[in-house]
Amino acid sequence: MTFRARHLLGIEQLAPDEIRSLLDLADTYVDLNRRTIKRTDALAGMTQINMFFEASTRTQSSFEIAGKRLGADVMNMAVAHSSVKKGETLIDTALTLNAMHPDLLVVRHPNSGAVALLAQKVNCAVLNAGDGKHEHPTQALLDALTIRRRKGRLQRLVVAICGDIAHSRVARSNLLLLGKMENRIRLIGPPTLMPAGVAEFGCEVYDDMAEGLKGADVVMMLRLQKERMDGGFIPSEREYYHRYGLDAEKLAHAKEDAIVMHPGPMNRGVEIDGTLADDINRSVIQEQVEMGVAVRMAAMDLLARNLKAERGARAAGVVV
Ligand code: ASP
């Protein structure tokens, strides 16, 4: 197993061999998760704390289930009822929790870079569960696992990422991961929802769905991140759906066996047609959720191995 990282802060810091190792291990967890008895002891005796400073359904429950299946003691910090509401800073909160000796800290925060900052202050492994519009590494890894299992490979695929690219950490992490694995990436969306400097990303950019979807193997839809927009970026949701909402007619431009993905939460009738989202012959949205648990188990297992090795070396007097 090749995995050198101490924290999982973003895809940016991972090498292709580390990504492959993590996905290989995640494959074994997919099998385990389909059994009746799903428990292992990879994290037995270890403590995992989940701190979510932003709303989450899938990611938080997925990390909680993943930790429990690996045998960790899992604590979800109720941010809404915590000292954060009394004005405590992120760092003070983290230092308080650090004093309780957690081994893994899973953090989601509305500010880009906040999770990396926190990782510098604590002694445990930190996993980024989404920081602002920066990165959402476990989402890109679970998307990669879904694609690899469905398409039989993770290279030389044409992947179309559609919608609100500018505000999406999912798009950013996916761009990095799929780029590292040598895929052809197309970004499709209105120019107002494309990030500044998009021309330098090394991918093709389209504002027309029919053109951009031509020959795509994978179609990844994104939610309009209204909570990160200040002002109007689209004329209306109706107009947006008409031009950029994925339905069977637009999907017909992609390859016949193209798969449809969405990280959730989805807005039916805004970025995707509800019937298409539920079409089990095209949509892999539920599979993405399943892969999410396996990928998070793999990520925490690998970080815990590195943490144990580091602590073991330190105890033996080796400088690390
Ligand atoms: N759940 C994903 C995220 O946290 C995507 C989204 O919210 O649209 O970034």
Helix residue ranges per DSSP H, 6-89 = 16-33, 58-69
Q: With a 6 A CB cut-off, is 108 part of the ligand 1 pocket?
A: no
Q: With a 6 A CB cut-off, is 163 part of the ligand 1 pocket?
A: no
Mean pLDDT of 232-258: 95
- Taking each helix axis as running N to C, give the angle between helix 169-180 and helix 16-33, from 0 to 180 degrees, rounded to the nearest 10: 110
pLDDT in tens, 81-128: 777 777 888 889 889 989 999 999 999 999 999 999 999 999 999 999
CA of 171 to the centre of ligand 1 (A): 10
Quick one: pLDDT at residue 29?
A: 98
Quick one: pLDDT at residue 83?
A: 76
Residue 49, Cα to own-chain centre: how many angstroms?
18
Mean pLDDT of 167-185: 97
CA of 127 to the centre of ligand 1 (A): 16
CB-count exposure of residue 78 (10 Å: 0-12, 13-18, 19+): exposed
CA of 264 to the centre of ligand 1 (A): 6
pLDDT in tens, 268-278: 999 999 999 99
Burial 258-281 (b: 16+ CB within 10 A, else e): bbbbbbbebbeebbbbeebbeeee
Q: Are 159 and 183 in contact (CB under 8 A)?
A: yes
Quick one: pLDDT at residue 320?
A: 67
Q: How far apart are CA 129 and CA 116, in angstroms?
A: 11
Q: How far apart are CA 48 and CA 300, in angstroms?
A: 9
CA of 174 to the centre of ligand 1 (A): 12
pLDDT in tens, 2-55: 999 999 999 999 999 999 999 999 999 999 999 999 999 999 999 999 999 998
Residue 184 makes CB contacts below 8 A (sequence gap 6+) with: 156, 157, 158, 159, 203, 204
Q: With a 6 A CB cut-off, is 170 part of the ligand 1 pocket?
A: yes
pTM higher than the cut 0.95 = yes
Look at 78-87, 169-178, 209-218, 248-257 and tell me which has the smallest mean pLDDT.
78-87
Q: With a 6 A CB cut-off, is 263 part of the ligand 1 pocket?
A: yes
Q: Compute the radius of gyration of the chain from its Cα atoms.
A: 20
Which of 168, 221, 222, 271 has most ligand 1 atoms within 8 Å of CB, for mutation? 168
Quick one: pLDDT at residue 232?
A: 85
Q: What percent of the chain has pLDDT over 90?
A: 86
Q: Are 79 and 53 in contact (CB under 8 A)?
A: yes
